[in-house]
Amino acid sequence: MRRLRIWFVLFGVLAGATAAHAGDVIDCSKKSLADAVRDVSTKNAVISFTGVCAGPIVIQIDGLTLQGIGTAIIDGGGHDVVTVSGTARVSLVDLDVTNGGIGIVARNGAHVSLAGVNVYDNSSYGMLLQTASSGVLDNVSAHGNTTGVVADDGVSLWVANSSLTANLSKDLQLTFGSRADLRTLVFGTYVCDATVLVRGTSGIVCPH
164 occurs within a structural domain: yes
What SS3 class is residue 19? Answer: helix
CATH of the domain at 179: 2.160.20.10
Position 24 scores a pLDDT of 87
**Mean pLDDT of all residues in 169-196:** 96
19 occurs within a structural domain: no
Domains of the chain: total: 1
152 occurs within a structural domain: yes
39 occurs within a structural domain: yes
For residue 208, what pLDDT band results from cuts at 50, 70 and 90? low
208 occurs within a structural domain: no
pTM: 0.88
Kindly write down the DSSP assignment for every residue of 68-127, as one continuous string: EEEEEEEE-TTS--EEEES--SEEEEEEEEESSSSSEEEESS-EEEEEEEEEE--SSEEE
159 occurs within a structural domain: yes
53 occurs within a structural domain: yes
Domain membership of residue 108 as a residue range:
27-200
93 or 24: which leads in pLDDT: 93
Q: What percent of the chain has pLDDT over 70?
A: 88
C-alpha of 173 from chain center = 18
109 occurs within a structural domain: yes
For residue 51, pLDDT over 60 is answered with yes
